[in-house]
A and B are shown apart, each in its own frame.
Chain A
Amino acid sequence: MWRAERRKLFNGSRVMKNIRIIPRLDIKGPNLVKGIHLEGLRVLGSPEEFAQYYYETGADELIYMDVVASLYNRNSLIEIINKTARQIFIPLTVGGGLRTLDDIKMVLRAGADKVSLNTIAIKNPEIIREAAKRFGSSTILISIEAIKQPDGRYLVFTENAREFTGVEVFSWAKKVEELGAGEILLTSVDKEGTGSGYDIELTKAVAESVSIPVIANGGAGKLEDIKQVIKDGKADAVSIASVLHYDFVKKYNERNNYSVDKNEGNTEFLKSGLIYSKIKIAGLQEIKSYLATEMINCRK
């Protein structure tokens, strides 16, 4: 009965797969932060609180990205992963500054389910093969930070887009798949944090060149952007930061029990209560309901 209904709904024997909506939490020390083009970080609050809220409201997975891991020590990140994993029973991906198989093992032991590698994979691509063999392909995500060049080519950058590598994005995506990566987290640095929409051309080209799932990241500013990167960009999953974070901030400010560590980082923005003007905030349920009206399936 149920199956017959679904078949009819999608007009054929194949049921459209479910698109994953994945909040991305950038972490600096003990705080959740958000920047623009991966720079100019603002402190938004405690990552565990955001994570718990996203879990309760229907997040399909979570991504924790330690944005300054290579510069600071990692104890606070391990503590955050550990606390999160005891409360939240959906896949948790952790990335940022992981350099060795032991680093990977450490975050997995702390409670992460997958790791995201970028810099080390470019420097030593063989680590993808080794890590996939040791921890399983599905555990290894490769993060690709792409910047469009004046000549139209997309090149890979590392270190939050500070380091030029000269590597071309599409050939790199195919190579990481060959080496055993389980998924690709694709960030358009040009779009990241701007709220001006995902890079559709980039996402589509990568998603069609590999058979492993591609998670589109960077640029979501409104509901239509999310629809577009799924329908036109062929993304298998979407990672969203600002749209969700500022929605949560607003809801918590309204309830007036929102906790921000006022002693660290740039919190002026939060105290001012301003919300970045390009971002049309929305919660996870709002996003999923909207996508359903656009005939895009998500877990309900």
Chain B
Amino acid sequence: MPEEQKEKVVIIDYGMGNLFSVKLACEKVGLSALISNDKSEISKASSLILPGVGSFGDAMKTLEKLDLAAPIKEFIASGKPFLGICLGMQLLMSESEEFGIHKGLDIVKGRVVKFPAAGDKVPQVGWNQTLKINSKSWDNTLLKDLSEGDYMYFVHSFYCIPDSKIFSLSETNYAGLDYCSALQDRNIFACQFHPEKSGEKGLIIYKNLANLIKINKK
């Protein structure tokens, strides 16, 4: 297959965190992945991944400095599959209260807030379960083939509260509350956990992404 026809995932490089493990997970499920912040590469991509660890404010500043907010929104409007991971999920929200109020990309209406400082350690570092919401099926979502209670790997102090629960796919219990740990709205999928660090279960999400890209191509 000529290079330009290959299904290519672009992993947005904006200096936040280690993107290499996301690339390796893509490659493991047969996707070719490019770490880039080049706008033309983003618009050509068959799928876009926004990863990230670190602070919300810094991340938004960098996205603005690199002029990436518009290309991300345009990509999402094209209907091609988009995946936000960890901070990449939080950035989709309207605003965050991390060290003052910061505006987000406002692609999914909602807020990002900190875990209450009661009992459990913050940040949450480690494995936790993804739970279904009112037994809502995960078929036709990126969580397809996963089971209620499957464990994923989390590292975060803040979590998302989408305005509407309709798009929430899974909840996770930490610090005494059930919070939204994955959501999907049309072609936008986002998860608070790191599927590339969640073993074979996490790789199922990348396999689902690869299948979605194939279907989308047809």
Interface residues of A (CB under 8 A from B): 1-3, 6, 13-15, 17-20, 55, 60, 85-86, 89-91, 108-109, 111-113, 135-139, 182-183, 211-213, 236-237, 298-300
Contacts and interface: CB of A to CB of B under 8 A. Distances in A.
Given A89-B197, A137-B54, A138-B53, 10 more contacts: A1-B135, A85-B24, A89-B196, A89-B200, A91-B153, A111-B20, A113-B18, A136-B53, A212-B121, A236-B125
A300 B148 CA distance: 13
A36 B187 CA distance: 54
A236 B126 CA distance: 9
Contacts of A1: 135
Contacts of B196: 89
Interface stretch (B2-10, B42-50, B173-181): B173-181
Secondary structure class of chain B's binding surface, majority of residues: mixed
17 contacts: A2-B148, A3-B178, A6-B173, A17-B126, A85-B21, A89-B199, A89-B203, A90-B198, A91-B197, A137-B54, A138-B155, A139-B53, A183-B125, A211-B121, A212-B123, A213-B123, A299-B151
Contacts of A136: 16-18, 53-54
Determine which residue in A6, A89, A112, A113 has the highest number of CB atoms from chain B within 10 A of its CB, and name it. A89
B141 interface: no
A288 to B, nearest CB: 11
Secondary structure class of chain A's binding surface, majority of residues: loop
Interface string B76-109: 0000000000000000000000000000000000
B150 to A, nearest CB: 9
Contacts of A15: 173-174
A211 B149 CA distance: 27
The 10 lowest CB-CB distance pairs between A and B, nearest first, are A299-B127, A136-B53, A299-B151, A136-B54, A138-B155, A15-B173, A213-B125, A14-B176, A108-B18, A18-B127
Nearest to B175: A14
Contacts of B203: 89
